[in-house]
A and B are shown apart, each in its own frame.
Chain A
């Protein structure tokens, strides 16, 4: 899976989103998973191109369909549901 995460500087929700996104990606199976982190203050053009309003915003670009998640991703159950991933708890218990 290919992700882009738009964050805004070093504010709390952005830092939390980075940590949550990183742990999400590392939990995924396979080797071709990636996470690109874009700071809208450094690169506003990229935010313009992607028409991003809110930060943090996580976009799952591949595979389609594209999905957009807004917020610090602390609601991980919801994040995984939107991305059609099995919930973590289930994963652990199955091991």
Chain B
């Protein structure tokens, strides 16, 4: 068996876990992307994180933008390149075009000067990392693709000899199709990463894909990422948790005693519960009780509300005998209300993760997922659900999500079909038409790793809260919303 290749952590959030442990050490990685796909940001951040997190100096070979432009443009991300230059942690190799002086080719040439400069700069600061941005400029200037390719191979080889791990950016003309513009760039390096920035449902959606990592494992497929001021690129590694076992057999209250009974004594501490129902069936009330139950046990609780204003939420809770204001004052509750449309789904996920990281809740509720679903595209929504679910599970947080069904009686929602496989417990709330009246029904559809009641019970909600009653008996088709009464009951000869 070969020994696994040594890795170098990039320090870029999310990327190292997509790479399953970072880049392969002293190898070169091609970063291919269309214009505006954040290639330069990634190239700069690779060096910046190296300096900030690992005290590894780096050289930046700029073939397009001037060092001065880079220093200015990157300051917004919080990277003080000038300071690092003074400290001897960052060195530029300035190969940006010299204005009007375009070189004329007159005979055989090589990149001896560039390689000598790279070696000199790297040696001066003891570089561990290098970024070269962007090769397109060199191909345009020197035209002879065969020579350029041969010389780039020499450059990559020199970097390897100096034990430097490098990123080399190249331009693509389309989001899908050939990897690079000149068709040879990808043969220069061992590894290829593609950045994309396509338009989907009238929104830009940035993704990062590791196409090739020679001799090493990595996660496959496209992963969303965001670029934000003050922090740069953050990728969102989505780990599928569908096969993951529950790590905890400890049960906690759902906030409703009767529902706990239906669930054989409560929900598992690190499980995710989905409450699905039409508008007005009591989803927000369940979320409120869930948080109340948590606070009563001394747990820290977090609510992300995407449907109602803060005033509305607090007023409703008041009516149900739950004082959110007092709970917040005690420090055991944090309520965050937001319009789903204010930002993209990827940004929502990152913001939610940040809040969780900071507040460290024991349980959290999202009311409702369906509101978020409307703010994005289906794929982004599924990624958000998977990302959020796997994240709160690793933090051993009890989660409760609500989802709104589109039809008033019966039916299912898109949200449900998206997330039913990754939630542990599904509770359905349904309107039921019975003897000319609308009633509410509740049932536990699934509960992973536990016995649960299979019956459909009647749920009564009034001004003071909710009560779960006896099961509907002698009825079939309750979940469809149009139940049939079994004949024995109609005969009047029952019992």
Q: Which A residues are closer than 8 A to B by beta carbons?
A: 6-9, 11-14, 16-17, 40-41, 44-45, 47-48, 51-57, 65-76, 78-79, 82
- Least CB distance from A78 to B in Å reads 5
Q: Would you call B110 and A54 a contact (CB within 8 A)?
A: yes
B243 at the interface (CB under 8 A from A): no
- Least CB distance from A30 to B in Å reads 23
Q: Would you call B113 and A57 a contact (CB within 8 A)?
A: yes
B181 at the interface (CB under 8 A from A): no
Contacts of A78 in B (CB 8 A): 104, 106
Looking at B93-101, B161-169, B297-305, the stretch in contact with chain A turns out to be: B93-101
- Least CB distance from B457 to A in Å reads 77
Report the contact-size class of chain B (Cβ under 8 Å from the partner).
20 to 34
CA–CA, A92 to B100, complex, Å? 33
Q: Which residue of B lies closest to A66 (CB)?
A: B101
CA–CA, A68 to B107, complex, Å? 13
6 A-B pairs (CB sep. < 8 Å)? A13-B110, A44-B119, A48-B93, A48-B120, A52-B113, A82-B106
CA–CA, A79 to B103, complex, Å? 11
Q: Would you call A71 and B119 a contact (CB within 8 A)?
A: no
Q: Would you call A82 and B104 a contact (CB within 8 A)?
A: yes
Q: Would you call A74 and B106 a contact (CB within 8 A)?
A: yes
Which residue from A47, A65, A75 sits with its C-beta under 8 Å from B117?
A: A47
Q: Would you call B98 and A51 a contact (CB within 8 A)?
A: yes
Q: Would you call A70 and B109 a contact (CB within 8 A)?
A: yes
Q: Would you call A75 and B113 a contact (CB within 8 A)?
A: no
B342 at the interface (CB under 8 A from A): no
- The prevalent SS among residues of A at the interface is mixed
Which of A6, A47, A67, A82 is most buried by chain B, counting CB atoms within 10 A of its CB?
A: A47
- Least CB distance from B344 to A in Å reads 40
Which residue from B93, B101, B103, B106 sits with its C-beta under 8 Å from A73?
A: B106
Q: Would you call B112 and A55 a contact (CB within 8 A)?
A: yes
- Least CB distance from B124 to A in Å reads 10
CA–CA, A57 to B119, complex, Å? 19
Q: Which residue of A lies closest to B137 (CB)?
A: A53
Q: Which residue of B lies closest to A54 (CB)?
A: B109
Q: Which B residues are closer than 8 A to A by beta carbons?
A: 93-96, 98, 100-114, 116-117, 119-121, 138, 141-142
Contacts of B116 in A (CB 8 A): 8, 40-41, 44, 47
- Least CB distance from A70 to B in Å reads 4
Q: Would you call B101 and A53 a contact (CB within 8 A)?
A: no
- Least CB distance from A42 to B in Å reads 9
- The prevalent SS among residues of B at the interface is mixed
Q: Which residue of B lies closest to A80 (CB)?
A: B106
Q: Which residue of A lies closest to B112 (CB)?
A: A8
Contacts A67-B101, A74-B106 known; A55 to B111 CB distance under 8 Å?
Answer: yes
Contacts of A68 in B (CB 8 A): 98, 101-104
Q: Would you call B98 and A54 a contact (CB within 8 A)?
A: no
Contacts A9-B112, A13-B109 known; A53 to B95 CB distance under 8 Å?
Answer: yes
Contacts of B111 in A (CB 8 A): 53-55
Which of A8, A48, A51, A53 is most buried by chain B, counting CB atoms within 10 A of its CB?
A: A53
CA–CA, A65 to B421, complex, Å? 70
Q: Would you call A51 and B104 a contact (CB within 8 A)?
A: no
Contacts of B142 in A (CB 8 A): 53-54, 70
Contacts A53-B138, A68-B101 known; A47 to B113 CB distance under 8 Å?
Answer: yes
Q: Would you call B94 and A70 a contact (CB within 8 A)?
A: no
Which residue from B100, B113, B120, B141 sits with its C-beta under 8 Å from A8?
A: B113
Q: Which 7 A-B pairs have the closest CB atoms?
A: A8-B112, A71-B107, A44-B120, A72-B107, A55-B112, A74-B107, A68-B103
CA–CA, A72 to B105, complex, Å? 9
Q: Would you call B110 and A40 a contact (CB within 8 A)?
A: no
- Least CB distance from B238 to A in Å reads 41
Contacts A48-B93, A51-B94, A53-B138 known; A40 to B106 CB distance under 8 Å?
Answer: no
Q: Would you call B98 and A71 a contact (CB within 8 A)?
A: no
Which residue from B96, B106, B117 sits with its C-beta under 8 Å from A70?
A: B106
Q: Would you call A13 and B93 a contact (CB within 8 A)?
A: no
Q: Would you call A71 and B109 a contact (CB within 8 A)?
A: yes
CA–CA, A85 to B430, complex, Å? 91
Contacts of A56 in B (CB 8 A): 109
Contacts A44-B119, A48-B120, A66-B101 known; A54 to B113 CB distance under 8 Å?
Answer: yes
Contacts of B112 in A (CB 8 A): 7-9, 11, 14, 40-41, 54-55
Contacts of A57 in B (CB 8 A): 103, 109, 113
Q: Would you call B113 and A55 a contact (CB within 8 A)?
A: yes
CA–CA, A53 to B110, complex, Å? 9
Q: Which residue of B lies closest to A41 (CB)?
A: B116
- Least CB distance from A63 to B in Å reads 14
Contacts A40-B112, A52-B113, A70-B142 known; A75 to B93 CB distance under 8 Å?
Answer: no
Q: Which residue of A lies closest to B141 (CB)?
A: A53
Which residue from B104, B107, B113, B121 sits with its C-beta under 8 Å from A17?
A: B107
